[in-house]
Amino acid sequence: MSAAMSLPTNSVSGDIRDKLIIGLDVPSVEEARAVVARIGDAGTFYKIGYQLAYAGGFEFARELIGQGKKVFLDLKLHDIGNTVEEGVRSVARLGATFLTVHAYPQTMRAAVAGKAGSSLKILAVTVLTSYDDNDLVEAGYAPVTAAELVARRAGQARDLGIDGIVCAATEAERVRAIVGPDRLIVTPGIRPAGAEAGDQKRVVTPAEGIRLGANHLVVARPIVKAADPRAAAEAIVREIADMKA
């Protein structure tokens, strides 16, 4: 895996497998445990979102961390500052590696305060990718467009000391220009060539995602629902490793 040396270095470790974050979008801890066991050492980094978090996922996060895996808690926090700060402090104590918050200034400030002294990294979600300009009109944001709001919030995230941004790979170059080389960019919407897009509208391959500036890729269904999840994960890691080999 000599390619690791020529890849962007600002990910959470030098292990190229960490570039792939596997989304555990399954309804129960039992299913999550089975998927993780099948993937074995091909998977080092797992994302737990609402579905699993509220079905025993926090205890399972502890279990994964105990096995030496990294955990991304995709909780997209947003509340009054004190509540966010204390919530983030609890997640930091759990030993998670990444946590998402919505990119509102009060929320981001509180999250940065809550993670102080820990190795937890806070990722900001600028504008949910399911929102377009019409949704922002409906939500009362007009005349600000989605693109303008992404740019504004990415700049605020940078200025407030947020560690990284979650965005579509198609937005990664624009976000990178704003946040600079040292912040993390984490992108979902990744599909290996030939995989079904599902409900993802703007998909790119793993190699394209990295080329567009992502430090980490989030992939769920193409791995979790594969006949052979381990082979699916290995193929993605190999595609990343082969980029500059």
Note the residues at the interface with ligand C5P (CB under 6 A): 23, 25, 49, 129, 166, 188-189, 198, 200, 218-222
- CA–CA gap between residue 139 and residue 220 (Å, rounded): 29
Verify whether residue 121 is a known catalytic residue: no
CA dihedral 239, 232, 202, 14 (to 10 degrees): -50
Check: CB of residue 75 under 8 Å from CB of residue 52.
no
Please pick, among 76, 121, 201, 244, the residue that the annotation labels catalytic: 76
Q: Which is nearer to ligand C5P, 76 or 244 (CB)?
A: 76
Taking the complex as a whole, the smallest distance from the CB of residue 209 to ligand C5P amounts, in Å, to 11
Taking the complex as a whole, the smallest distance from the CB of residue 219 to ligand C5P amounts, in Å, to 5
Taking the complex as a whole, the smallest distance from the CB of residue 69 to ligand C5P amounts, in Å, to 17
Q: Which is nearer to ligand C5P, 40 or 198 (CB)?
A: 198
- CA–CA gap between residue 78 and residue 108 (Å, rounded): 9
Alpha helices in the chain (DSSP H): 29-39, 50-52, 58-66, 81-94, 105-114, 133-138, 146-159, 169-179, 206-211, 221-224, 229-242
Q: Which is nearer to ligand C5P, 4 or 223 (CB)?
A: 223
Q: Which is nearer to ligand C5P, 4 or 166 (CB)?
A: 166
CA 243 to chain centre: 21
Check: CB of residue 16 under 8 Å from CB of residue 3.
yes
Tell me the catalytic residues.
76
